[in-house]
Amino acid sequence: MEVKMIALILGGGAGSRLYPLTEQRSKPAVPIAGKYRLIDIPISNCLNSGVRRMFVVTQFNSASLNQHIKNTYTFDMFTHGFVDILAAEQTPNSPNWFQGTADAVRQSMHHMVNHDFDYILVLSGDQLYQMDFKELAFYHLDKGADLTIATIPVVAKEASEFGILKVNQDQYIEDFTEKPKKDVLPAWRSPLEEKYTSKGKEYLASMGIYVFKREVLERLFEENPDATDFGKEIIPYAINNNFKVASYAFDSYWTDIGTIASFFEANIALTDPIPDFNLFDKNATVFTRPRPLAPSKIYGTFFNRTLVAEGCIIHAKKIDKAIVGIRSRIGEGTEINNAILMGADYYESLEQIEAAEIPMGIGKDCYIENAIVDKNCSIGHNVIIKGHHSLGDMETSTYVIRDGIVVLKKKAVIPNGTKIGLA
């Protein structure tokens, strides 16, 4: 049975909690796993699920995201698929920029009027997971729901960051609250399975993944003309006004890339022998921009639990539990431990390398641990960069310390002999 569904992927706000990675790019454009960007995750999930009509709604720092989508997702004339960018725009009927998730979808609806669809799939552009949206759509149909929300169990520490809900025995949502305060959290516990409660997961959270009937979403917008947010306004209104709102229980890996700590942990976890998010799953391919890069070239380096992208030239002594991004250049004697190197957007020529006081890449005899090195950084020789949970948050012109992790800003230049963090 064909389900006529269009996906709308929200590009998110300013992404201040991911700063400085979002200083010059939007959250969905942040690189992950050495060669991808966060936006590749929801788009790949759609493609693997047979959803081939997608709009990506952008607003903040969207230039690199727009370029990545344009250079990556091109469909031939026979597939009738597309990934179109909807930039925030001022119109006679709406002179304001997007004010929230619901407002972004409302302002984007007029771009879809010429498309034939019965359901709209609303996704976030900054989450890491693998989901079959066909199963979600068929579940929505089987429940006869007006709105279906994908849900996942979370622990109390995380609950205040999400929309928390309660369901009845038929998996319809009876109550919902957005980001509840810690003092009221106990009242929002759900009777979940022992496999969750044994891990402290006693709360049922919205994943920010929604399936709406087209006419229902249009009606909700008509009845709530001033509502700007799904979690704070549209969803509670739907539940309280007898719309059929179903919960789709998701039982696999999912994480919201909202902070430097969550971004770091999610990336490093990809180096596990069999990670929860499996880049090597043939049934859940992660697509990205194809690059005509040479294979990586390595000279005498000891590697352990490391992902190495294409186009790298590595002379390092040791790299352990790390992500090495595209076009990375690492000098002799350098050690990398528990770190993310995003690599570079281009190569310097031999003449540029010889002429530069500090060429792009990582120099000789450096030590980097608990750190993120953004793209196009130039790190000299004998540099020590060491993050630690005991370090307080701070910012300089070239780096930021957040959650005990040292994050070098994009294009940062670090002189020879510099010591950062617990060095």
The 3-state DSSP class for residue 191 equals: coil
For 153-163, write each residue's pLDDT tens digit: 999 999 998 99
Predicted local confidence at residue 298, as pLDDT: 98
- Give kind and range of the element (H or E) at residue 153: strand 147-155
Whole-number average pLDDT of the chain = 92
- Report which of residues 398 and 59 the model is more confident about: 398
Checking if the pLDDT of 339 tops 90, the result is yes
pLDDT digits (tens, 9 = 90+) for 373-391: 999 999 999 999 999 999 9
93 pLDDT above the threshold of 70: no
How much of the chain, in percent, has pLDDT values that exceed 90?
A: 77
Q: Summarize pLDDT for 183-217 with one digit per residue, the tens.
A: 899 999 998 889 999 999 999 999 999 999 999 99
Per-residue pLDDT, averaged over 290-298, amounts to 96
For the entire predicted model, the pTM comes to: 0.94
Numbered ranges of CATH 2.160.10.10 in the chain: 297-421
d(CA 39, CA 31): 9
Q: Please determine, for residue 348, whether its predicted confidence score (pLDDT) is greater than 70.
A: yes
Class of domain 297-421: mainly beta
Residue 167 DSSP SS3: strand
CATH number for domain 5-269, candidates 3.40.50.300, 3.30.450.20, 3.30.360.10, 3.90.550.10: 3.90.550.10
Asked if pLDDT for residue 242 goes beyond 70, the answer is yes
Instruction: Tell me the CA distances in angstroms from 341 to 5, 34, 88, one per residue in order.
Output: 38, 7, 32
Q: What is the pLDDT of residue 95?
A: 57
Across 36-42, average pLDDT: 96
Closest CA to 327 of 340, 345, 301, 315: 345
pLDDT digits (tens, 9 = 90+) for 243-284: 999 999 999 999 989 899 999 999 999 999 999 999 998 889
> What mean pLDDT comes out for the span 134-150?
97
Q: Is the pLDDT of residue 4 over 60?
A: yes
Q: Residue type at 186?
A: P
CB atoms within 10 A of CB 281: 11
Is residue 324 within 8 Å of 304, Cβ to Cβ? no
Average pLDDT over residues 38-45: 96
Tell me what pLDDT residue 316 has: 98
User: Which ranges in the chain are annotated with CATH 3.90.550.10?
Assistant: 5-269
Reply yes or no on whether the pLDDT at 90 is more than 90.
no
